A and B are shown apart, each in its own frame.
Chain A
Amino acid sequence: MDVVSNIVEKSLRDAEKSITVHKHLDLQYDLGTLLAVDTNSLDLKSLRDNRNEYLLNLSRDNVQLLLNKIWELPTQQIDETLVVKLPPAKFVLPRARPVPKPKPLTKWEQFAKLKGIKKTKKAKLSWDEQLNKWVPLYGYKRAAAERERDWVLEVPATADPMEDQFLRKKTGRVEKVAKNELQRLRNIAKARNIKIPRVGVTHPDVSSSKDLQTSITVARSATASLGKFQDKLPKEKEARGVNELVPGSNRKRKLPAVSNEQERDHNLQIIDSVLSKRPKINIEKAMARQIHSKPVEQSEENSRSKPNTHGKRKNLKQKGKKPASNNNKVQKKGKKGGGRKRR
């Protein structure tokens, strides 16, 4: 009996031991994700001596603690099984994949961001005054409504009278769509960093003076000496951003070394050429003098004929005041005298 009771006691103790685990620091639990974090330090000695056994025991204990926590939760019985409802998870799991990169902005989006332009939502339906009904923003009903409304089109004053305005409207729309598609592709190419070939000089109506300058600069370099001896206009500017098209433009040559005296003489030559180009008679200066001498002359004249002008002005004033009175010379004189007296 003694033996039996001993064995029972021991097994009971074992069972007790297997359920309760003692830790210095409590574990941190997140039951929603079935997670327990053990912050206690490892026993380094036993870890070194028998690693596997130690780790096995440690994890068994921790799992035991986690299960103990789960058993504390309210249980339900569904279809003869015990079920625990886990609380919502607190722990934020790091994502397995890298965060997706933000979509590269299109050229318009970049511009809008820079200027602070915000997209405003348009109403899906708008009231049409002419047709007296609600017209959708797009779709077949919109097209039908437009067809109904634009049964006649005005010919603009600047347009060719024989031009078909309906056809023009149609082609304009097609062109708009094509342009949008081109811009879309351009945006994609820019986002993926693909080089698109230059368009070149397309059409005189479309191309700008910049395009012309580019083509001139590139064409000039198409000689055996890479355009070194080609003539230039006096104030002509080189096109920029064409280095890849102009051979030898990236090479920078250092000027040959000369003695300082030589350099000074050369500089003096340049100065002479600069100074000699200044016109001896400055036309603008002469013009300004001419223009400003006129008011001076006039003012001199005015001062000479001062009494006359003075009298005239007086007369005018009188006229303004009394337009009804027919003034003759005698009256004038009388008035003039009066004016002086007043002073």
Chain B
Amino acid sequence: MKRLSEERTKVLFQKLSQYIGSNVKLLIERPDGLYCFREQKDRVYYVAEKVLKFGESIPPEQLVSVGTCFGKFTKTNKFRLHITALNYLAPYAQNKIWVKPSMEQQFLYGHNVTKAGLGRISEATEKFQGVLVYSMSDLPLGFGVAARTTLECKHADPLAVVCFHQADIGEYIRSESDLL
């Protein structure tokens, strides 16, 4: 378990700011204590200082997970968010997409959101911006990348993709063994 290098920290924050914008600060400046990011086997964990102290007493080779896994760095040094980060991103989300009940299952099986399944979309969503995907009853389902701006969505045909799938809570079942 080690601190993220400056380069990787930058990559991580850039990715997070795509989803929650300037709210990234709130992940670090928390009133309830110190929180930090730690790296273990290319995976990034969001850990409270308290938990970190316990975690540091375990040899790194034997440590499976500590805190919450936010995602992992690929071999090309890009950051991939995992679904486990959803709980921390959902409250701060700036751009949201609500999907209709008919689209919900499709999305949870790992498909993109089409215009037909789009219930609502937050205003001024940019193209290729990270968005949080909610069900119509405001339950966060996962996140993706907006394929079109809000305005473009209005004119899109029903089968056009509105949001590219990135992660969904169906992964808790589908890739149970990979998640940490």
A83-99 at interface with B (beta carbon < 8 Å)? none
Given contacts A267-B28, A271-B13, contact A261 B151 (CB under 8 A): no
Stretch at the interface among A116-124, A145-153, A285-293: A285-293
Complex Cα spacing A285 to B22, Å: 18
Instruction: Contact check, B22 vs A275: say whether CB atoms are below 8 A apart.
Output: yes
A237 at the interface (CB under 8 A from B): yes
Q: Which of these, A267, A270, A292, contacts B36 with CB under 8 Å?
A: A267
Binary contact readout A278-317 vs B (1 if CB under 8 angstroms, 0 otherwise): 1000101100110010010000000000000000000000
Complex Cα spacing A240 to B110, Å: 32
A3 at the interface (CB under 8 A from B): no
B175 at the interface (CB under 8 A from A): no
B9 at the interface (CB under 8 A from A): yes
Binary contact readout B130-171 vs A (1 if CB under 8 angstroms, 0 otherwise): 000000000000000000010110110000000000000000
Instruction: Give the size of the chain B interface in residues (CB under 8 angstroms).
Output: 28
Q: Which residues of B contact A264 (CB under 8 A)?
A: 28-29, 34, 36
Complex Cα spacing A289 to B152, Å: 9
Given contacts A268-B25, A270-B6, contact A285 B149 (CB under 8 A): yes
Of chain B, the residue at the smallest CB distance from A288 is B149
Complex Cα spacing A289 to B149, Å: 9
Instruction: Contact check, A274 vs B76: say whether CB atoms are below 8 A apart.
Output: no
Instruction: Contact check, B28 vs A295: say whether CB atoms are below 8 A apart.
Output: no
Instruction: Contact check, B152 vs A292: say whether CB atoms are below 8 A apart.
Output: yes
Instruction: Contact check, A285 vs B124: say whether CB atoms are below 8 A apart.
Output: yes
Q: Which residues of B contact A285 (CB under 8 A)?
A: 124, 126, 149
Instruction: Contact check, B17 vs A288: say whether CB atoms are below 8 A apart.
Output: no
Q: Which residues of B contact A270 (CB under 8 A)?
A: 6, 9-10, 13
Instruction: Give the size of the chain A interface in residues (CB under 8 angstroms).
Output: 23
A31 to chain B: closest CB distance in Å?
Answer: 60
B27 to chain A: closest CB distance in Å?
Answer: 9
Instruction: Contact check, B149 vs A260: say whether CB atoms are below 8 A apart.
Output: no
Of chain B, the residue at the smallest CB distance from A277 is B14
Instruction: Contact check, A274 vs B152: say whether CB atoms are below 8 A apart.
Output: no
Complex Cα spacing A275 to B34, Å: 21
Instruction: Contact check, B5 vs A255: say whether CB atoms are below 8 A apart.
Output: yes
A277 to chain B: closest CB distance in Å?
Answer: 9
Q: Which residues of B contact A289 (CB under 8 A)?
A: 151
Binary contact readout B22-39 vs A (1 if CB under 8 angstroms, 0 otherwise): 101100110000101100
B41 at the interface (CB under 8 A from A): no
A242-279 at interface with B (beta carbon < 8 Å)? 254-255, 258, 260-261, 263-264, 267-268, 270-271, 273-275, 278
Complex Cα spacing A162 to B72, Å: 58
Instruction: Contact check, B17 vs A263: say whether CB atoms are below 8 A apart.
Output: no
Of chain A, the residue at the smallest CB distance from B6 is A270
Q: Which residues of B contact A263 (CB under 8 A)?
A: 3, 36
B120 at the interface (CB under 8 A from A): no
Q: Which of these, A237, A267, A282, A295, contacts B126 with CB under 8 Å?
A: A282
Of chain A, the residue at the smallest CB distance from B24 is A271
Q: Which residues of A contact B124 (CB under 8 A)?
A: 285
Instruction: Contact check, A261 vs B28: say whether CB atoms are below 8 A apart.
Output: no
Q: Which of these, A267, A278, A284, A295, contacts B17 with CB under 8 Å?
A: A278
> Considering the complex of A and B, which 5 residue pairs feature the smallest CB-CB distances, nearest first?
A292-B151, A260-B34, A274-B13, A255-B3, A288-B149
Excluding A255-B5, A263-B3, 4 further A-B contacts by CB distance (< 8 Å) are A258-B3, A271-B17, A282-B126, A284-B127
B interface residue numbers (CB < 8 A to A) = 2-3, 5-6, 9-10, 13-14, 17, 21-22, 24-25, 28-29, 34, 36-37, 49, 76, 124, 126-127, 149, 151-152, 154-155
A interface residue numbers (CB < 8 A to B) = 237, 254-255, 258, 260-261, 263-264, 267-268, 270-271, 273-275, 278, 282, 284-285, 288-289, 292, 295
